[in-house]
Every structure is written in C-alpha cells, then in structure tokens.
Copies of this chain bind each other. A is one copy, B any other.
Amino acid sequence: MKNATFKFELQATHGRARAGVFHTPHGAFQTPVFAPVGTQATVKAVTPAQLLELQASLVLANTYHLYLRPGDSLIAEMGGLHRFMNWIGPTLTDSGGFQVYSLAENRSVDEDGVTFKNHLDGSIHRFTPEVAIAIQENLGADIIMAFDECAPPYDREYTENALSRTHRWAERCLSAKTRTDQALFGIVQGGVFPDLRTRSAEFIRRLDFPGNAIGGLSVGETKAEMYAVLEVVDSILPEDKPRYLMGVGAPEDLVNCVLRGVDIFDCVLPTRLARHNAALTRYQRLNLVNSVYARDPQPIDPTCSCYTCQNYSRAYIRHLITAKEMLSATLISIHNLYVLINLTIDMRQAILKGRFDAFVQDFMERAKTGQ
C-alpha cells in the first residue's frame, strides 16, 4: 500500500552528509535529527512540554515494552500512542526485534517468527512479522519498523542465515501493513560483514520503503567497523529516502555518522546517563556527584542555552543528587537531550551553508581537548 502522506525532501548535501525534511501526518521533522526515546510511552523524567521546549521533533517508543505493558490494544482504545503519551509531533516505534534479542529471557527463532519469554513475568509470547505490524498499527506511530532479527555481529554463518530470514520478514511486513497513515521503514542487517551488508542494502533498496534503517550496530563492534558498514550501506541505499541508524547517540557518533550519510538517530544514552548523574557536553562527560562540584556555581556547561544551564548550578544539581531528589534526573535529562538535539541542528545548518567539513574539523579538534 502506498504512503501518500510521507515525503522526504533532500535539501542539501555536503560530501555524503545530508540535510532534509521528512513529512508525516503529525508534522515534519528536519534532518539530521536526534529522537529522544520514550521506551514505555514516556521519555523518562521529562514531560512532553519540556521536550517541545528543547526542540525535540521525532520521539520514539518501544513496541516490545508497550505490547507487554499496558498492551497495544489498550493504547489503541485510548486513541493511539500520540494521544496516550500526549506527544503531538511525529513518532516512531521500533519493531521489537532488537528488544527480543537484548531483553527477553530466552528466545527461539524459526522461519515464521520468534518465541520468547518476556523479561517482566517470564510468560511466553510470539512475534512474527505480521504480529509486529499489527501491534505497531495498534500503537499508531507515524513511522513503524520492519520486524528483523538482530544477530550477534561476528558470527558469519548465523548472520547469513538470519539475514535471509530478515529479508523474507521485510517482504511479509510490507504485505501485512494495512494503514496508509504510517510509513514502514526497512532495516538493513548483516553484522560487520561488508558483503552481507551490501547484499542486505541491495535487497532492502529493491523493496522501496519510504525510509531505511541500519540495524545491528552499536552492539559490540568497533567504531571502525561501524563506520565501514555505514560507508558500504550509504553507497547503496537510495538518496531520496531518509536513513535511520538505530540506537546510536553519543555526540562523536552523531558527527561521524552524519558524515557517512545518516539522517535519523535515536538512543537512550542521554536520559540513561542523566539517571546515573552524568551530564554530556559535546566533547566530554561530567559526573555531577563528584565532590569537586559541591560549591561550583557554574551551570553544567556555561556555553549551553538549555533550561537547566540557564537556571541551575552544578552545586544545586549535585545537592539534588545527594539528597536523592527526582529533579536531578529531570534537569540532567533536559540538558543531555538538548546537547544532542542542538548538535543535530548545528550540523544541519553547517550542511545547508556548505561548511560541514569545517564543522567536523572543529568538532574533532575540540573533542581531543574536551572543550
């Protein structure tokens, strides 16, 4: 079924880096974009009003988690994910494939799907491509993902078998899809093996999804291997469709991956670090529980324009942490998300103005010194 409502406009390129806009039924988002992750239909410790204020556009939620709790039929009954979680902008749900791989207590994969024991109560569940699409249609995100298998990155024989299966599942997802107000993205797999990634990118390209994702990265491979995979895939995936690198979100990764043609990112890193008292800047991390910050009147980053840095000292945030006050997670999450979103906005401007090379050079030099 065709997706009339979705359109990607490629506005500028600089080398392989791209700036674009993706239109969805819940508004457009500009790329490169960093999507905050709302695993359980909430970006942890942050309200949607705060997300809007820090210029978040695309927000993610997890099919695996929401299927288990509160259940996708309940969310459908409540008017769908947007209304349920009060996010008026574009949303994306993953397919659950990665969570079955990383969270389920055990799983057995066959040609038709995956049977797994869920991590909450140990009960047995089964996902097939058709089930994953039906759940995502109940959730109702603007962008939904093909059901894939994330294989261990270095096991060539397993990866090769899993890859063929993932390709057949991609075709089944396309056939299973019934809603026209959702864009189904395909996922390229293939571990760290350039020839398998090539085969996968060519296969997925032929299915003509409105967007394509690169899965199975940031799961244990080296940065060099990740970049090599991106370079292979980038040369094959269509230029007129957005490319989404799943689960990647450190600042240096965003820069290195935009440089290699990626448009969309998501990662739990900024909010997870926040709950562990770590603040990001573009070039370093601060552990705010450290006693050197006890009487430090500076904001987390004196150059940052986020709500947290405009209003709170490191001393105050450290006090909140030691006093076990929830506000610390909120304030650090707001800052960390802002850092990543602001970085993608700056990269976009640099691409549009034809000076992304200089941006990258400057970034890499500052990253060496941490400022």
A interface list, Cβ under 8 A from B: 40-42, 44-50, 65, 69-70, 74, 77-79, 84-86, 294-295, 297, 307, 311-313, 315-316, 318-320, 322-323, 325-327, 329-331
Which residue of chain B lies nearest to A314 when distances are taken between CB atoms in the complex? B78
A319 touches B41 (CB 8 A): yes
B42 touches A78 (CB 8 A): no
Q: Name the B residues within 8 Å of A85 (CB-CB).
A: 316
Given the known interface contacts A316-B41, A320-B42, A323-B69, the answer about A294 and B84 at a Cβ–Cβ threshold of 8 Å is: no
B295 touches A74 (CB 8 A): yes
The residue that A42 contacts in the complex, of B69, B79, B315, B325, with Cβ under 8 A, is B325
Q: How far is the CB of A318 from chain B (nearest CB, A)?
A: 8
B78 touches A325 (CB 8 A): no
Q: Name the B residues within 8 Å of A295 (CB-CB).
A: 74, 77-78
Given the known interface contacts A42-B325, A295-B77, A325-B44, the answer about A69 and B319 at a Cβ–Cβ threshold of 8 Å is: yes
Q: Name the B residues within 8 Å of A318 (CB-CB).
A: 70
| Cross-chain pairs A/B with CB under 8 angstroms, 11 sampled | A40-B319, A41-B319, A47-B307, A65-B323, A69-B323, A70-B315, A74-B315, A77-B295, A84-B313, A84-B319, A326-B329
The residue that A45 contacts in the complex, of B65, B84, B307, B326, with Cβ under 8 A, is B326
The 3 closest A-B pairs by CB, nearest first: A70-B319, A86-B311, A40-B323
Which residue of chain B lies nearest to A70 when distances are taken between CB atoms in the complex? B319
Further 8 A-B residue pairs, CB within 8 A, beyond A45-B326, A77-B295, A85-B316: A40-B325, A42-B323, A47-B331, A70-B315, A78-B297, A326-B326, A326-B329, A330-B330
Task: Give Cα A339–Cα B49 distance, bound, in whole angstroms.
Answer: 20
Task: Give Cα A319–Cα B49 distance, bound, in whole angstroms.
Answer: 19
Q: Name the B residues within 8 Å of A78 (CB-CB).
A: 295, 297, 313, 315-316
Which residue of chain B lies nearest to A40 when distances are taken between CB atoms in the complex? B323
Q: Name the B residues within 8 Å of A315 (CB-CB).
A: 70, 74, 78, 84
B294 touches A70 (CB 8 A): yes
Task: Give Cα A274–Cα B315 distance, bound, in whole angstroms.
Answer: 27
A312 touches B86 (CB 8 A): yes
Which residue of chain B lies nearest to A74 when distances are taken between CB atoms in the complex? B295
Q: Name the B residues within 8 Å of A74 (CB-CB).
A: 294-295, 315, 319
B49 touches A307 (CB 8 A): yes
Which residue of chain B lies nearest to A120 when distances are taken between CB atoms in the complex? B323
Which of A49, A312, A327, A330 has the largest count of B CB atoms less than 10 A from its CB? Answer: A327
A316 touches B84 (CB 8 A): yes
Which residue of chain B lies nearest to A325 when distances are taken between CB atoms in the complex? B42
Given the known interface contacts A69-B319, A70-B315, the answer about A42 and B327 at a Cβ–Cβ threshold of 8 Å is: yes
Task: Give Cα A50–Cα B326 distance, bound, in whole angstroms.
Answer: 14
Given the known interface contacts A74-B315, A316-B84, the answer about A69 and B322 at a Cβ–Cβ threshold of 8 Å is: yes
Task: Give Cα A295–Cα B76 distance, bound, in whole angstroms.
Answer: 11
Which residue of chain B lies nearest to A45 when distances are taken between CB atoms in the complex? B326
Q: How far is the CB of A139 from chain B (nearest CB, A)?
A: 13
Given the known interface contacts A78-B315, A79-B297, A85-B316, the answer about A322 and B70 at a Cβ–Cβ threshold of 8 Å is: yes
